[in-house]
């Protein structure tokens, strides 16, 4: 039986972004293996009939000795399984899985570059050093002639190609991980006393969470019919995460609600009036294509990844990054113009149907596996 091994930083990320692809392969007779850290969601992988393997690739850890052990655990697994396909998703799995597959001669290797990460997007002395090291590691890990790198936006692909990390001939562009258009069905605008403006993301500085909060505070000073929802958790493994103290401080403001992680994000999007993501940079934000599918207008930033998820002035608005005043202006516009907001949402649904259908994304990946 043919084997496909997915190496990913967290099982829950795999379940939200790649499970449909793995299920499609399983239907064609592949034995599906998932390698990741231990997590409460691993039980769901077993229920789907997948095999789970623990590998020590904890996010946010930089201890060289422990990282070496993490690489060894991946090497051992690839050597043991001898998979026909290795698909690596997120930074450490790409670095360690790519290198292991190269050393062990795996027939087909696919890596997903879902954004550049905070090392490349946040300037500091430490990140400058880590950036240099990361580029060298990427060159080693992606040097396999049997490897194809999937990028979610043209800017990230150009970054890698221009630095000679990988030749363009071994890259592919697939915009995002797709959205299930049946599950995220078009929904009418809610009729509620309080009109919810939603940010759905991990609570990281780079997601523009503080810009969203400052904009919320300003809007709430002039509007009493709005609420600002944040659906997502803090991420202790990420140095740019909000803290519990931050959450407690901001949630004390009436009209700002931290919802935490939401397993049924469709219901949350349906209950919101429009969606905001003032991110500094993305691979391709799943939260935005889900919002578009449900028929919600979007306000996001004119940065790589985000700018591809919105047609400015048709499905939503693009605003300059870190510009709270412009964010406030567009939020107030959509609150003042509910018919325009609904019009943007309907256009967003059409855009999602034409560009982000999960079935198309799954087939694109399978074409790469077979190439």
- Domain 3-178+357-370 fold is Rossmann fold (3.40.50)
Domain spans in the chain, listed from the N-terminal domain onward: 3-178+357-370, 195-355
Helices (H), the chain: 11-17, 19-27, 42-47, 64-81, 91-104, 118-121, 125-141, 154-162, 209-220, 244-251, 265-270, 286-294, 324-336, 338-355, 358-370
Task: Provide the 3-class DSSP secondary structure of residue 62.
Answer: coil
> Whole-angstrom Cα distance, residue 123 to residue 121?
7
Average pLDDT over residues 306-315: 97
Q: Which helix (H) or strand (E) holds 252?
A: none
Predicted model pTM: 0.90
User: What are the residues whose beta carbons fall under 8 Å from the beta carbon of 121, sequence distance 6 or more?
Assistant: 206, 280, 281
Shared fold status for 3-178+357-370 and 195-355: yes
For 63-81, write each residue's pLDDT tens digit. 788 889 999 999 999 999 9
Strand partners, 111: 88, 149
Mean pLDDT of the chain: 94
pLDDT band at 143 (very low <50, low <70, confident <90, very high): very high
Counting Cβ atoms within 10 Å, is residue 178 exposed (0-12), middle (13-18) or buried (19+)? buried
Answer CATH for 195-355 from 3.30.470.10, 3.30.565.10, 3.40.50.2300, 3.40.50.2000: 3.40.50.2000
pLDDT band at 125 (very low <50, low <70, confident <90, very high): confident
């Amino acid at each position: 039986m043919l084997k496909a091994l997915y190496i990913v930083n967290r099982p829950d990320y795999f379940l939200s972004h790649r499970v449909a692809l793995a299920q499609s392969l399983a239907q064609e007779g592949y034995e599906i293996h998932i390698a990741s850290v231990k997590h409460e969601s691993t039980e769901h992988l077993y229920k789907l009939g997948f095999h789970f393997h623990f590998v020590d690739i904890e996010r946010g850890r930089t201890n060289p000795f422990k990282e070496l052990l993490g690489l060894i655990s991946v090497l051992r697994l690839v050597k043991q399984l001898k998979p026909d396909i290795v698909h690596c998703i997120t930074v450490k799995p790409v670095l360690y899985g790519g290198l292991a597959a190269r050393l062990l001669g795996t027939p087909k290797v696919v890596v997903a570059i879902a954004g550049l990460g905070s090392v490349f997007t946040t300037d500091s002395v430490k990140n400058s050093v880590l950036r240099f090291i990361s580029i060298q590691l990427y060159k080693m890990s992606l040097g396999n002639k049997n490897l194809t790198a999937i990028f979610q936006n043209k800017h990230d692909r150009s970054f890698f190609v221009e630095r000679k990390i990988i030749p363009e001939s071994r890259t592919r562009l697939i915009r995002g991980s797709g959205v299930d258009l049946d599950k995220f069905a078009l929904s009418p605008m809610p009729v509620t006393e309080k009109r919810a403006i939603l940010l759905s993301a991990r609570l990281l500085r780079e997601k523009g969470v503080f810009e969203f909060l400052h904009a919320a505070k300003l809007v709430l000073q002039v509007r009493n019919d709005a609420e600002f929802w944040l659906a997502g958790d803090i991420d202790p493994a990420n140095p740019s995460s909000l803290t519990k103290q931050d959450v407690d401080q901001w949630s004390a403001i009436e009209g700002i609600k931290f919802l935490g992680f939401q397993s049924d994000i469709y219901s949350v999007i349906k209950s919101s009036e429009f969606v905001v993501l003032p991110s500094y940079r993305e691979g391709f934000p799943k939260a935005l294509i889900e919002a578009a599918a449900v028929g919600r207008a979007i306000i996001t930033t004119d940065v790589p990844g985000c700018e591809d998820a919105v047609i400015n002035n048709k499905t939503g608005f693009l605003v300059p990054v870190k510009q709270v005043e412009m964010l406030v202006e567009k939020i107030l516009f959509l609150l003042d113009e509910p018919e325009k907001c609904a019009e943007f949402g309907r256009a967003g649904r059409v855009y999602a149907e034409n560009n982000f259908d999960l079935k198309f994304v799954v087939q694109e990946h399978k074409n790469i596996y077979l190439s």
